[in-house]
Chains A and B, each alone.
Chain A
Amino acid sequence: MSDKLLEVKGLTACVEDEDKEILHGLDLTIRAGETHVIMGPNGAGKSTLGSTLMGDPRYKITGGSIEFQGEDITELTTDKIAKMGMFLSFQNPIEVPGITLANFIKTAIENKTGERLRFWDFKKQLSETMKILNMDESYADRDLNVGFSGGEKKKAEILQLLMLKPAFAILDETDSGLDVDAVRTVSQGIEEYKKTVGGALMIITHSTRILEALDVDATHVLVDGKIVANGDASYIDEINENGFEKFLK
């Protein structure tokens, strides 16, 4: 079908220098604008899936294919994949000393569009977006993620999501370790992304709090590097009640 945004077929992947396979033949299709939820027990390979889609060199693709925007991206480097419109919100955002958050986002946008941004336009847009996320504006001039609290780091990820406007975003445990208020703020950010950009989402999560205001199109259960069950939004509640036991054979 032509509206397939992401199509993963029989994907196997292992850790680059250890030859230990983590994904064992995984299939997944996501269409433009859809919201998919990936659930699964610890160590199932959920984060590995997110990183592998994004072309993380720490994982080696040993079989299968990933098509994104109708193009095979298995051999592409991370930056090319990002420029094609994929975004990964990191579970543990990396601290980058010496580079301010604002400059980083500006550079990333300019890299993507190939055009210079006018300073005041950018500044205005950034400050408006930060408001949505209840972020203190002083964070713009602080070094990227350096000394940010867990909550501020996640907000900075969502800020990048809203500024970069990708067609497809992977949110890796974006809600983990956050208090109720922070989860609400982050959720607002995700809603804003849906509303203004209308992109597709792949949400890796343990909890339902972040999903409350979203229309989930499909839920996938990932166990031991494979998708073992697919369902609709109602699946989430079921898993929350009964856990993963019935999938662990």
Chain B
Amino acid sequence: MKEKTQVEDIDRSLYDFRFEEKDAFKVEEGLTPDIVRQISKEKNDPEWMTEFRLKSLEKYNEIPVPDWGPSIDGLDMNNIVTYVRPKDNKMVKDWEEVPTDIRDTFQKLGIPQAERESLAGVGAQFDSELVYHNVKDEVAAQGVIYTDLESALHGEYADMIKEHFMKLVPPTDHKFAALHGAVWSGGSFVYVPPGVSVEIPLQSYFRLNAPGAGQFEHTLIIVDEGAYLHFIEGCSAPKYNVANLHAGCVELFVGKNATLRYSTIENWSKNMYNLNTKRAKVEEGGKVEWISGSFGSHVSYLYPMSVLSGEGARCEFTSVTFAGHGQNLDTGTKVVHNAPNTSSYINTRSISKDGGISTFRSSVVVNKNAKGSKSAASCESLMVDNISRSDTIPAMDIRTDDADIGHEAKIGRISDETVFYLMSRGMSEEDARALIVRGFADNVGKELPLEYAVEMNNLIGLEMKGSIG
């Protein structure tokens, strides 16, 4: 039995601590071809990558800002530092060799401990560069590659990277994909060979420490035929009163009969513009499972996309979004059924509180060739008070008759009756409401490993503090 209903306080300072980095290397603020060339040089890119970056920058300047989502007027690229390298940066395999300040940061976030106890490998990124990357010997012995993308770009997997990098999310996809293509730095590369099942999860943790900076990590995962991987992504940043930007990119290639579970608890600080792109391509009989909790950031655009391109490919998308004071979180998913007998399952919960805005946005496209496909979606929204907002904008485009599509959406409030019932058993109103919200978010909670479920429940508890007016 899992302990998921404890009502405990956690301190926001758990995420808010920071330190001043005097010795970090930074490029100038803004976005010009010179800055992009400088980043490319600093990173010792191969020539094709320098070209790729510059072309992406051109695209970035051509593509307009989206006219349909939350406003990003508060984000001025001229004020964003796109590359910050921590002092004395080198990526190491031993926490003892990580500079003290940075090591302390990750220790407070519990990363080394989690690595010892329940992970098969960890990558830790601080601002623009990885500071630590390690994978357990027995996992490495199975042929699993887990490293930073930069080393992979120069090593024996260089061709594999070139073949896959930004092929699923091309820089032309949207403005912030183009931005990512121009200034990306850091992130992880995972390759799981055919038939290998990685029993315990790998985790990459992204920490943005510098004020006014952007983080643009690129995660590329290839799970080969019949293999299994659970990958966990964590992210956080201390709060500043200037805008920070996260425009990461995740590309997942799920091979024939392979399964990839990708879990995220996103807890960016509330000055963050989180314009992130995640996409998976799933081959015959393969499956991608997205588990996603969005709690942080000022503005989010986040719609993990599943392209079901092989017969019988499947995707499951399970998410919870919690928008509190000053947050406008536009989240959801996109699915394209591109082969026969594919199936998608979407289960989302949104919570709006204290003036927060949450929008669930989705698209399910079933192409003509996707005969025998199934899609089921259920999205529920909870309004915690009367000053918040919750929108549901799902779109379906079905281009074959041989498809079975179900969709359900529901919006409502916390019922007074339920609050009374819980209070009659001795719970305070605040605790009762927090408990109800936790139960509401349990679609994600029960899919997460225990420690992460606890972290998520703590975040909900934190958000629900003082929720009674």
Contact = CB atoms under 8 A, between A and B. Distances in A.
A88 B422 CA distance: 11
Contacts of A57: 416, 420
A108 B427 contact: yes
B7 A107 contact: yes
A78 B423 contact: yes
A51 B416 CA distance: 13
B421 interface: yes
Contact of B1 (A55, A94, A141): A141
A102 interface: yes
A143 B440 CA distance: 11
B7 A99 contact: no
Interface residues of B, number: 31
A209 to B, nearest CB: 25
A112 B427 CA distance: 8
Interface string B303-340: 00000000000000000000000000000000000000
Contacts of B429: 77, 79
Contacts, number: 94
B6 interface: yes
Chain B interface helix/strand/loop/mixed: helix
B145 interface: no
A56 B428 CA distance: 13
A83 interface: yes
A138 to B, nearest CB: 12
B411 to A, nearest CB: 16
A87 B424 contact: yes
A160 B420 contact: no
A55 to B, nearest CB: 8
Contact of B426 (A82, A90, A143): A82
A65 to B, nearest CB: 20
Interface in A36-85: 51, 54-58, 77-79, 81-83
A57 B416 CA distance: 8
B424 A88 contact: yes
Given A100-B1, A107-B435, A94 B426 contact: no
Interface in B412-454: 415-418, 420-429, 431-432, 435-436, 438-443, 445
Contacts of B1: 100, 102-103, 123, 140-141
A77 B425 CA distance: 12
A82 B425 contact: yes
Contacts of B441: 98
Contacts of B442: 97-99
Contacts of B59: none
A93 interface: yes
Contact of B421 (A83, A90, A102, A164): A90
B207 interface: no
Nearest to A83: B426
A123 B421 CA distance: 23
Contact of A99 (B423, B424, B428, B435): B435
A111 B436 contact: no
Interface string A124-145: 0000000000000000110100
A93 B420 CA distance: 11
B439 A97 contact: yes
Nearest to A170: B424
A104 interface: yes
A98 B416 contact: no
Nearest to B430: A79
A81 B7 CA distance: 20
Contacts of B440: 97-98
A102 B4 CA distance: 11
B4 to A, nearest CB: 7
B417, B426, B431, B440 pick with most chain A CB within 10 angstroms: B426
B391 to A, nearest CB: 23
A94 B428 contact: no
Nearest to B418: A94
B189 to A, nearest CB: 36
B336 to A, nearest CB: 31
A28 interface: no
Contacts of B420: 51, 54, 56-58, 78
Contacts of A140: 1
A84 to B, nearest CB: 9
B427 A94 contact: no
B5 interface: yes
A102 B421 CA distance: 16
B431 A111 contact: yes
A105 B263 CA distance: 30
B416 A96 contact: no
Contact of A96 (B439, B443, B445): B439
A103 B416 contact: no
Interface in B137-179: none
Nearest to B415: A94
B6 A79 contact: no
A143 B439 contact: yes
B5 A96 contact: no
A207 B424 CA distance: 25
Contacts of B431: 79, 111
A102 B440 CA distance: 17
Interface in B371-426: 415-418, 420-426
Interface string A146-166: 000000000000001000100
Contacts of A98: 438-443, 445
B432 A79 contact: yes
Contacts of A111: 7, 425-428, 431
A36 B175 CA distance: 72
Nearest to A98: B439
B436 A96 contact: yes
B426 A112 contact: yes
Interface string A101-124: 011101110011000000000010
A154 to B, nearest CB: 14
Contact of B422 (A54, A96, A100): A96
11 contacts: A55-B423, A57-B420, A77-B429, A78-B424, A79-B423, A82-B426, A90-B424, A96-B421, A98-B438, A108-B426, A160-B425
Given A82-B424, A96-B439, A107-B427, 20 more contacts: A77-B423, A78-B420, A79-B426, A81-B424, A87-B425, A88-B424, A93-B421, A94-B417, A96-B422, A98-B442, A98-B443, A99-B435, A99-B442, A100-B1, A103-B3, A104-B425, A106-B5, A107-B7, A111-B426, A111-B427
Q: 6 tightest CB-CB pairs across the interface, nearest first?
A: A98-B439, A98-B442, A78-B423, A82-B426, A94-B421, A108-B425
